[in-house]
Amino acid sequence: MSENTAAAAAPKVGFVSLGCPKALTDSELILTQLSAEGYATSKTFQGADLVIVNTCGFIDDAVKESLDTIGEALAENGKVIVTGCLGARAGETTDNMVREVHPSVLAVTGPHATQEVMDAVHAHLPKPHDPFVDLVPAAGIKLTPRHYAYLKISEGCNHRCTFCIIPSMRGDLVSRPVGDVLKEARALFESGVKELLVVSQDTSAYGVDVKYRTGFFDGRPVKTRMLDLVRALGELAQPHGAWVRLHYVYPYPHVDEVLPLMAEGLVLPYLDVPFQHSHPDVLRRMKRPASGERNLERLHAWREACPELIVRSTFIAGFPGETEEEFQHLLDFVREAQIDRAGCFAYSPVEGAAANELPGMLPTEVREERRARFMEVAEQVSAQRLRRRVGATMQVLVDSAPGLGRKGGVGRSYADAPEIDGTVRLLPPEKLSKQLKVGEFTKARIVATEGHDLVGMPV
């Protein structure tokens, strides 16, 4: 092969991203770096010179999926680098599960290890000579559709919830410098992002680790603190007419200060608050953050401050030792708190979690039966809250609209986060001149509900 041909054929990296939105942002960082250095990506294992698998190690199903994917990549390609949460997990006899199951992988790293992954790539697939740095957009490469993006503000977590092994894999909370976070947000908005999803393990704790240090953005001082960050993000979003949505917010008292920003429309009146349970004794056994707060009162006060507020949450049914009375407390909470969107897992032991040592493990049938009962109540609440939307006109961000929406499309209102909440099914517009475009907003008159979704007529 001549030198010219060699330069033209950029080395190809296959990439598989498994796991949660937080893992997705790691994948985006790695892909951005690969692209900046001139590597190409391959959609198939066989077509790649090397494969990177970003894994998830949170629940047993995810571990299996990750290990299976690594196995497939090894069988079809042979050169595999593993990164992500599973990479940080110990095996049965050694300190690394991935190497134990798949000894032939080239390298294994934990999560948030872009540089280590790049070092491994360089070692096994040398960098091309002519990096196409200029071709990489300032905001990096995004795996999510162009019009929405996840913004990770911190890594790790200072809590030690007994059912969770994330802190043992990812370590204590490390907040990203506020200037870097805002710079990334601005680049995302400038590259066309219309919805920014703020993610972390504990968004309300942003800046605790650096004692809310003052950072700088555009020469202005900004505190590394949730309220200041959220306000600055809202101000950056405004000229682009874009949305800012907050995930993983624990109900600490200081979150009250964010509600006025929602009421004035700076950020979406939407909070993803992972309550997990309501009964104080269960919360204590779970060692949950903010378990001592009066969550019901806090929620009522939030709704008073911002009546449009949507609350999404996740819960665990059948935690070890959960009595029928404690479970009833949870059902009452969901009804009284009027949780708009609720997800529920039947408790399932995670290898290495402290909760496995708690007495009173419930039989699988009881855990599953409670989950089903929970979902029945949660769905009633959610459906009833959704029905209040009928007749309203809502702003909808269009996610899909084949043929410019002549046959309708699918979008989401402020009440729906991508991938986890419902959608708004958009009917074909009555007005012939009306077009729907992916990544743009349309107004829609809500005409009906359909399960978790709404049906809207674009206007």
Give 287 or 445: the residue with its C-beta nearer to ligand SF4.
287
Name the minimum Å distance from CB 58 to ligand SF4. Answer: 9
Name the minimum Å distance from CB 173 to ligand SF4. Answer: 9
Going 18 to 196 to 211 to 285, the CA torsion angle's sign is negative
The Cα–Cα gap between 321 and 342 comes to 22
Name the minimum Å distance from CB 334 to ligand SF4. Answer: 19
Give 164 or 444: the residue with its C-beta nearer to ligand SF4.
164
Size of the site for ligand SF4 (CB under 6 A): 10
Among 37, 195, 202, 322, binds ligand SF4 (CB under 6 A): 202
Give 164 or 436: the residue with its C-beta nearer to ligand SF4.
164
Give 167 or 192: the residue with its C-beta nearer to ligand SF4.
167
Name the minimum Å distance from CB 25 to ligand SF4. Answer: 15
Cβ(9)–Cβ(102) under 8 Å?
Answer: no
Burial group, residue 134, by CB count within 10 angstroms (0-12, 13-18, 19+): exposed
Name the minimum Å distance from CB 71 to ligand SF4. Answer: 28
Cβ(439)–Cβ(401) under 8 Å?
Answer: no
- Smallest CA-to-CA distance from 449 within 419, 413, 403, 418 is with 413
- Smallest CA-to-CA distance from 296 within 310, 279, 281 is with 279
Q: How many CB atoms lie within 10 A of CB 186?
A: 19
Name the minimum Å distance from CB 142 to ligand SF4. Answer: 24
Burial group, residue 376, by CB count within 10 angstroms (0-12, 13-18, 19+): exposed
Q: How many CB atoms lie within 10 A of CB 357?
A: 9
Give 160 or 443: the residue with its C-beta nearer to ligand SF4.
160
Could you list the residues known to form a binding site, using ranges: 20, 56, 85, 157, 161, 164
- Smallest CA-to-CA distance from 330 within 276, 400, 384 is with 276
| Contacts of ligand SF4 in 382-411 (CB under 6 A) | none
The Cα–Cα gap between 119 and 76 comes to 23
Cβ(69)–Cβ(48) under 8 Å?
Answer: no
| Contacts of ligand SF4 in 148-187 (CB under 6 A) | 157, 159-161, 164, 166-167
Could you list the residues known to form a binding site for [4Fe-4S] cluster, using ranges: 20, 56, 85, 157, 161, 164
Angle at alpha carbon of residue 191, lines to 439 and 259, rounded to 5°: 70
Query: What share of residues in the chain are helix, strand, coil (percent, to 5)?
Result: 40, 20, 40
Give 48 or 166: the residue with its C-beta nearer to ligand SF4.
166
Give 252 or 441: the residue with its C-beta nearer to ligand SF4.
252
Would you call 411 helix, strand, or coil by DSSP? strand
Among 42, 54, 175, 201, binds ligand SF4 (CB under 6 A): 201
| Contacts of ligand SF4 in 282-341 (CB under 6 A) | 289
Q: Is 22 in the site for ligand SF4 (CB under 6 A)?
A: no
Name the minimum Å distance from CB 161 to ligand SF4. Answer: 3
| Contacts of ligand SF4 in 87-116 (CB under 6 A) | none
Name the minimum Å distance from CB 12 to ligand SF4. Answer: 35
Give 168 or 400: the residue with its C-beta nearer to ligand SF4.
168
Burial group, residue 405, by CB count within 10 angstroms (0-12, 13-18, 19+): buried
Pairing of strands 393-400, 441-450: antiparallel
Site residues (vs ligand SF4, CB under 6 A): 157, 159-161, 164, 166-167, 201-202, 289
